[in-house]
A = this chain, B = another copy of it.
Amino acid sequence: MTQHIFDKALALHHSDIRVGHFTGMTSPDYWNMVGPFGGTTAAVVLQSVLRHPDLLGAPIALTVNYAAAIEAGAFDVQATAVRTNRSTQHWTVQITQAGASGAPQVTTTATVVTAVRRDTWSLNDLPMPAVPGPGQVERMTIGPKGVAWIERYDMRPVRGTVPTQWDGSGDHSETLLWLRDIDPRPLDFPALAAMSDMFFPRVWLRRAKPVPAGTVSITTYFHADAAQLAEVGTGYLLGRAVGQQFQNGFFDQSAQLWSEAGALLATSNQIVYFKE
């Protein structure tokens, strides 16, 4: 079986010298406009923790701060378990690249919490919106030209697609879409981390104006365990994203990802820089 293109993007080489130190390569397949798709970067951060020999449990929370665009080529990831409790573990992760002088420059800071889950009372308090199934919705074909990563996904917008008329007519910031990898790949935590960053900038939709914008920080909470993700397999997820406040150069985005069966697998928030 050929390696999936997303697994290639996630491939990390574990250093023999330093525990938790990995090297990776940016993926042209998931390239964004001026660096890798932020979702891939989030997935790489998470992958470094999942690959760490000291890992306890499964991902609960992931925060990734995009300090600078990662340049095409090699990068270093350092994952450090700074505190391990009985059932939770706290991680810091940094991605660095050699700068012009050769000295390592931080491109990405991150924190991760992992935990051993126990069976408890559970409840979904945010049901999946009633929408037509993925088979009833057409695949999106519109996207910014030259953005590779978008082509790696099958996106089927139900509401709030990328405007086709940039005429300032926007009146809401909500997108609902079905999505999955274009080449089927069973859902796992890195994929879910990447998919949480799937949505185009809310400001484009709200204003029907394509101003420059980029995620500054994203936080994703994982509500599913590995078994539940395996159950979703290669099925579609329903993603929802909405902006809450647009203010002097930054807006936030609140997002949710449900399985087609209606399980809320992840909730995610981000703060995004925009111009004008």
**Contacts from A to B (Cβ < 8 Å):** 60-61, 63, 65, 67-68, 82-83, 85, 88, 90, 92, 94, 105-107, 109-111, 113, 115, 117-126, 172-173, 206-207, 216-217, 219, 221, 223-225, 242-250, 252, 254, 256, 264, 267, 269, 271, 273-276
Apart from A65-B111, A67-B83, A82-B106, what are 15 other A-B pairs with CB-CB below 8 Å?
A60-B216, A60-B217, A60-B271, A65-B113, A109-B111, A110-B111, A115-B273, A117-B249, A118-B248, A120-B248, A124-B246, A125-B243, A125-B245, A219-B219, A221-B250
In the complex, chain B residues whose CB is within 8 Å of the CB of A115? 216, 249-250, 273
Q: Give 15 CB contacts A-B under 8 Å.
A: A61-B216, A61-B271, A65-B111, A67-B83, A82-B94, A83-B105, A90-B106, A113-B217, A117-B249, A120-B274, A122-B246, A125-B173, A221-B250, A221-B271, A224-B247
Number of copies: 2
Closest 4 A/B residue pairs (Cβ): A67-B83, A67-B90, A126-B244, A117-B248
Decide: A248 near B264, CB < 8 A? Known: A271-B113, A275-B120: no
Q: Is the CB of A252 within 8 A of B271?
A: no
**C-alpha spacing A207/B82, complex, angstroms:** 34
Cβ distance A243 to chain B, nearest Cβ, rounded Å: 5
Given contacts A206-B125, A244-B267, A264-B245, contact A85 B67 (CB under 8 A): yes
Task: Name which residue of chain B comes closest to A228, CB basis.
Answer: B247
Interface centre among A60, A82, A247, A273 (most CB of B within 10 A): A247
Cβ of A34 to closest chain B Cβ, rounded Å: 13
Q: Which residues of B contact A275 (CB under 8 A)?
A: 120
- Name which residue of chain B comes closest to A94, CB basis: B82
A105 surroundings in chain B (CB, below 8 A)? 83
Minimum C-beta distance from A261 to chain B (A)? 14
A256 surroundings in chain B (CB, below 8 A): 244
